[in-house]
Chains A and B, each alone.
Chain A
Amino acid sequence: MNASAAVYAVRWLIKDTFRQAMATRIFWIMLAVSGVFIVFCLSLDVSGGVDAPQPGDTELYKDNKPIVGPGAAARVTLLFGAMTFETGTRTQDHAVHFLEIMMATMVASYLGFLLTVLWTAGFLPEFLQPSNASVLFAKPVPRWTLLTGKYLGVVVFVAFQVSVFFGGTWFALGIKTGIWQTAYLIGIPLLVVNFAVIYSFAVLIAVLTRSTVACVFGCVLFWALCWGANYGHHFIYAAPDLAAGQSSIGPFTTFLAQAGYWMLPKPADMEWILQDALRSGDYLIAIANAPGFKQAIASGAVDKSMSVVTSIMFSVVMLVISSRHLSKTDY
């Protein structure tokens, strides 16, 4: 099969995934969730504060110090004026920036990620059921193309939903406040890559078990494992500090931590990249300041581009293994 035929087949598989998502209402549920946040953004307003940070100012959430300096802090009203609170930021720009960081990290990166895995985990097992797949696999398109096409279909679907969430909330905040922080949109590619990498493991589980339940639990547990391996690797750099100069981590443990880190996806690093791009350290206790991360970053043991590249390489390996296994499976 030539490349243009493969692209043609993949295009139809992507289209099929959108049809599946619409028919199972997942498409509309995810749009509705994004819609709720877009309406939330349209319901808020910012007022007060100063035009620019004053000399000697600090932000409330930075090191938990109160604002100092002349003038009031920016205030945010929610739900069309029903609630009011101070973000603890000096300027309205910073107040909007603070809200965007909360939505990108707490809402999209954690809650959104888990819900997306839960809602999309059934797509591949259903696709691979013998009574459905036998007819598909009797077509001239190779199995690896069908599997990769369906995987790309899910990733494109998630990319669409992530774009609606980020684009919609960014636009709503922009038209309501007149403040347009384009850095917020960096969340779209970062979260899509993060999802694509973790979801590639769900592809392997789907090929091995054809079970939606196994895909959901396997994927969530794997995500937690990757967080542990990622953070565990960085923790090695903090261990001498925490143990008052006495490192209790042996060479074998260090080797395991290094091997796990380089072989597995790096969701904690992806979170750090997202937070760093959004400058969340200006407002919140960022992951970069957590024990382990701080030392690992300072020692140069973490590299943003290497984290992204090796995570993507993991997903490529998962897809190759899954495709090889599927090609040899009797249907």
Chain B
Amino acid sequence: MPSSHVAEFDKVVKDYPTGIFGRHYLRALQGVSFTLEAGEVFGLLGPNRAGKTTLVKLLLSLCQPTVGNVTRLGKPASDRSTLSRIGYVHENHAFPRYLTATSLLEFYGALSLLPEPEVRARAGQLLEMVGLADRAHEPIARFSKGMVQRLGVAQAMINDPELLVLDEPSEGLDLAGRAMVHSLVAEQRKRGHTVLLVSHVLGEVEQICDRAAVIVGGKLVFLGKMTELRRDKSKGGTRPLEQALREIYDKPSAKPRSGHAVAAS
């Protein structure tokens, strides 16, 4: 049955094969379930190696779940047509250095199956938006890390996505760049589009997210509104997000098991 959610993870388990012959597996996710709703900005939080990027990859069909189901924009993740309505900012861009900013947007826009005239028109607008219009015809090889990140944001917006996935979007960005990302997220929310944000910049998460999921050791340990996450149950009132997360991470039930490797069944 088609799902009404923008995206849904249903009891998702993901094992990565390890070792030379792949006889053992590293369990990255353990039965994670949650949904993304239209018009919300959803934060995905957790320490390093928690499984956040694996969830993003599952959402984008970059890998397949071992167990469970992933749906996006009402269709199973195996249906690639919905990817034309999604934008993705990768956590560590390495765009082909031989392309210029314009040719990169044209290329990625074409692979989003947008008509050429539309791609050309949008490429100019987006380069203006991210502040690279004056460097539009320079090879990416000459760009700084921040400029590549800005280009990554423009690339993700080339198809005017209904679901925007931002994996560490502020990495390498200056204050103006971060403000541009925040403004973009606010604009997406205003238009009823959804944003999935993975970030270690807690101020950013606090400022722009409506709801969040906290993943630790491949398990979902919190799901709810940001206000609930920050609520101090013992003293009442709210607490800083960093303190709230530290308490969650330090709970024995949330500790990652030592040695995730499990034998292949």
Contact = CB atoms under 8 A, between A and B. Distances in A.
Contact of B88 (A8, A12, A138): A138
Given A131-B93, A137-B61, 17 more contacts: A1-B81, A8-B110, A8-B113, A9-B110, A9-B113, A23-B99, A132-B94, A137-B62, A138-B62, A139-B84, A139-B112, A140-B81, A140-B113, A146-B111, A330-B64, A331-B62, A331-B63
- How big is the B interface, by class? 20 to 34
25 contacts: A1-B81, A8-B110, A19-B98, A22-B98, A24-B98, A126-B96, A131-B90, A131-B94, A132-B95, A134-B90, A135-B93, A135-B155, A138-B83, A138-B88, A139-B111, A140-B81, A140-B111, A140-B113, A141-B111, A142-B80, A146-B111, A328-B64, A330-B16, A330-B63, A330-B64
Interface residues of A, number: 29
Contacts of B94: 129, 131-132
A45 interface: no
Nearest to B82: A140
B48 interface: no
Contacts of B95: 132, 135
B81 A135 contact: no
A140 B80 contact: yes
Contacts of A9: 110-111, 113
B157 interface: no
B107 A331 contact: no
A128 B139 CA distance: 20
Contacts of B107: 12, 15-16
Contacts of A142: 80
B112 A19 contact: no
Contacts of A22: 98
Given A23-B139, A138-B86, A331-B63, A131 B111 contact: no
Contacts of A126: 96
Nearest to A9: B111
B4 interface: no
A6 B61 CA distance: 19
A103 B111 CA distance: 40
A136 interface: yes
A82 B112 CA distance: 58
Interface in B70-92: 80-84, 86, 88, 90, 92
B103 interface: yes
A209 interface: no
Interface in A4-35: 5, 8-9, 12, 15-16, 19-20, 22-24
B108 interface: yes
Nearest to B79: A140
Contacts of B90: 131, 134-135
A134 B155 CA distance: 13
Contacts of B99: 16, 19, 23
A1 B80 CA distance: 8
B112 A330 contact: no
* A-B pairs, 4 with minimum CB distance: A23-B98, A131-B94, A330-B63, A138-B60
B112 A135 contact: no
Nearest to B139: A23
Contacts of B80: 1, 140-142
Given A1-B80, A20-B98, A136 B62 contact: no
B201 to A, nearest CB: 21
B82, B94, B95, B111 — most chain A CB neighbours (10 Å): B111
B80 to A, nearest CB: 5
B85 to A, nearest CB: 9
A24 B99 CA distance: 11
A12 B110 contact: yes
B83 A139 contact: yes
A142 B79 CA distance: 10
Contacts of A330: 16, 57, 62-64
A216 to B, nearest CB: 20
A142 B61 CA distance: 10
Interface string A186-222: 0000000000000000000000000000000000000
Contacts of B108: 135-136, 139
B166 to A, nearest CB: 13
Interface in B109-132: 110-113
A147 to B, nearest CB: 13
Nearest to A328: B64
Nearest to B97: A23
B64, B84, B97, B98 — most chain A CB neighbours (10 Å): B98
Interface in A117-159: 126, 129, 131-132, 134-142, 146
A1, A20, A330 — most chain B CB neighbours (10 Å): A330
A134 B98 contact: no
Contacts of A15: 107
A23 B92 CA distance: 22
Contacts of B110: 8-9, 12
A8 B108 CA distance: 12
Nearest to A5: B113
A141 B57 CA distance: 16
A24 B97 CA distance: 10
A136 B111 contact: yes
Contacts of B92: 131
Nearest to A149: B111
A140 B80 CA distance: 5
